[in-house]
Structure 1
Amino acid sequence: MKVSILVAAFLGIVVCPVARAFSYDDFNLDTYKDESDDQLFKAFENRRNDQWNSRNYFSEEYEESFSEKDDINNEFKNVESYSLDKEIPAFINWTHEGVVSPVENQGNFKNSWAFAAAGVIESRKTIKTGKLVILSKQNLVDCCKAGTTFALGCILVLGGIDTETSYSYRGLRGGCRFQRRNVGAKIKKVYKVKPGDELGLEKKVAEGPVAADISREAIKKYTGGVYNKPCKDTKNYSVLVVGYSKDFWILKTSMGVNWGEKGYMKLARNKNNLCGIASSATFPGF
């Protein structure tokens, strides 16, 4: 019986009303009779524009994914600390600069890490080149181990990440179909913020968006405004830190535009590393 419930939770999809915010308690559960890959893909294609969610949406524990490379862990020699020795602004929001791609919906899959990894490369590359190229989350889901830092290391190994147009998102993990001719961005290194250092995170975000992992507890409870409730330091939901003010961080999620504040949330800052915001923060170097 327990197994049946878990399977139903994984496959559950529900049509949600448009143009209103959602809370965790709003979600109901539906299942499809046909559990084939094709049926799930058809369901995703029909409902991808923020029309569906499920309780499993919040089951974001990092399960081990299949990797096409055996030497991913060797790439962590390229993970370095990074310093920025210049004056930083008191407020910044990179969404105002045209370097952040639109909010997307990860759907009924545990893929927030893929959206955060692709997003941080998109934004940082745009700051460098002036051209925003949307990158493939499915490329990471199919080819990499789950986790933002693992995904960035995987991109180093693969030699790049494909564009979204060449490798579109479907959510389900499949065989790796990465093709070098479709690469939209390459990275040379992975930088990691000193764990727990919010001032260090501020310095990095002043330079560009940063991928970070927070507790899904905040995602489950957030409805709007500045989230400032007790939160476990369990790093199981990935976000893109796109800005900050004196009192809060601005986080982009992959929950769709009908969640939170049009897919974004504000998390109180300088509150003893609330929800683990600075515990696992990374970004690429080009």
Structure 2
Amino acid sequence: MWRYLALIAIMLAVVSAYNVRLSTADDYTTRFKTWMVEHNKMYHEEEEFYLRLSNFIRNIHSIEKMNRQYGRTATFGLNKFSDLSLDEFKKHYLMPNYKPKARVTKETFNYPSNIPATLDWRTKGYVTPVKNQLMCGSCWAFSATEQIETANIMAGGQVEYLSEQQIVDCDPYDGGCGGGDPYTAYQYVQNNGGLTLNVTYPYTAANGACYANSTAPAVQVTAFGYASSQGNETQLREAMAARGPLSICVNAEPWMSYQSGIFSSTCSDDLDHCVQIVGYDTDATSKTPYFIVRNSWGTDWGLLGYIYIQAGSNLCGITNEVTYVSVHPDSSNTVNYHKMH
């Protein structure tokens, strides 16, 4: 009972903090119940309901603030994360304790500079469909797996949906749902002799016991490394033009309520999320340059699972950790168009 009363007090405090009248609070409750139906959410305890309602109200005001400040180029709105606190969102969908691996050598990159003005590797068939990591900080495994899938297609292999779960369970260098690094994920896959198919080792969104030894590898990693220098967006474009889509790690905390447009919000370079960058373009109306980034939060987030990041200022640390991978495809496998997770 005391927890219930405490949560009621928290909700009233939230209402008071945003100068919400009681009649408006009722409106928020109605709006929240509509959102619950739209997102198939159900709370079995009143304490949980009021906790989620409090988060919902906070997120509405955060969204309104984001749209006031950055609505010229992007739109923010309610989505499937809107009943979460920011701390919950970071815990379950990001890597709040992520520390990038130190680069032990200084690389030199020499790419052709005569690159196209716009580039979108999705149109070439080199990008597999958007996936969903669910409530597990496995973005790094998704980013690495997506990069291996892309490299496999570019190397002439067939379209394969590979196993993120194998990396989550078996990679000894990283932390499963607690976070990790695409670079060391490639290292694991190379040392293991390859990565198997998702249909053979399906995703569970939880840490599990490794059973890779009982599966057959579908794609073998032959080489991997950093693809561009930190802070150099021109080189990032050149690397994409030369190598194709690339794995990147970014700061994604402000992406929680992103819906559409070119993201230009204040965003630090404290990396907490790994994704795949697939191209770049310039908005025809505003002339704003941007990068095209594939996320792993499902197609019901953002632009069918993608986000456009404004170029020009290393926003969200987009150049800070950029990696590539080379593979040897296993031609004995057939095309595996099975249900995506």
TM-score by length of 2: 0.63
Structure 1 runs not aligned, ≥5 long:
2-13, 30-53, 65-72
SS at match of 1:204: helix
Q: Does 1:252 align with 2:294?
A: yes
**Quick one: which of 199, 216, 230 aligns to 1:165?**
199
Deviation at 1:26, TM superposition (A): 5.0
* Counterpart for residue 267 of structure 1: 309
- Aligned partner of 1:32 in structure 2 is none
In the TM superposition, 1:62-81 aligns within 5 A as: 62=97
- The equivalent residue for 2:319 is 278
2:105 equivalent to 1:105: no
User: Hey, what does 1:83 align to over in structure 2?
Assistant: 110
- Please give the residue correspondences for 1:107-256 in structure 2 after superposition, counting only pairs within 5 Å: 107-144=134-171, 145=174, 146-179=180-213, 182-192=216-226, 193-206=228-241, 207-246=243-282, 247-256=289-298
Letter in 2 for 1:28: D
Which of the two has higher C-alpha Rg? 2
Pick the aligned partner of 1:28 from 83, 92, 101: 83
Shift of 1:60: 2.5
1:20-72 CA distance string (max 9 Å, x none): x964685326xxxxxxxxxxxxxxxxxxxxxxxx73443422469xxxxxxxx
State the 1:183 CA deviation: 1.1
TM-score normalised by structure 1 residue count: 0.74
Q: Is this contact kept in 2: 1:162–1:183, CA < 8 A?
A: yes
Amino acid at match of 1:152: Y
Give me the whole-angstrom Cα distance separating, in 1, the residues matched to 2:124 and 2:170. 31
Q: Distance in 2 between matches of 1:115 and 1:84?
A: 27
Deviation digits for residues 176-209 of structure 1 (CA, Å, limit 9, x no counterpart): 2113852121112212021222111111211311
Count of paired positions: 237
Alignment RMSD, CA only? Answer: 2.8
Find the aligned partners of 1:60 and 1:275 in 2 and give their Cα distance. Answer: 14
Partner Cα distance (1:178, 1:127) in 2: 25
**2:208 and 2:217 mapped to 1: Cα distance?**
19
Relative distance call for 1:90 and 1:154 in structure 2 (3 A) is same
Counterpart residue identity of residue 118, structure 2: F
CA deviations over 1:197-229 (Å, ceiling 9, x no partner): 211111121131100011022322422100011
Shift of the 159–232 alpha-carbon distance from structure 1 to 2, 3 Å rule, reads same
Specify the code of the residue in structure 2 equivalent to 1:94. Answer: W
2:23 alignment counterpart: none
Query: What is the CA-CA distance between 1:132 and the residue it aligns to?
Result: 1.4
Identical counterparts, % of pairs: 26
Q: Structure 1 residues 188 and 108, CA, compared in 2 at 3 Å: closer, same or farther?
A: same
**Contact 1:22–1:260 (8 Å) recurs in 2:** no
Shift of 1:100: 1.1
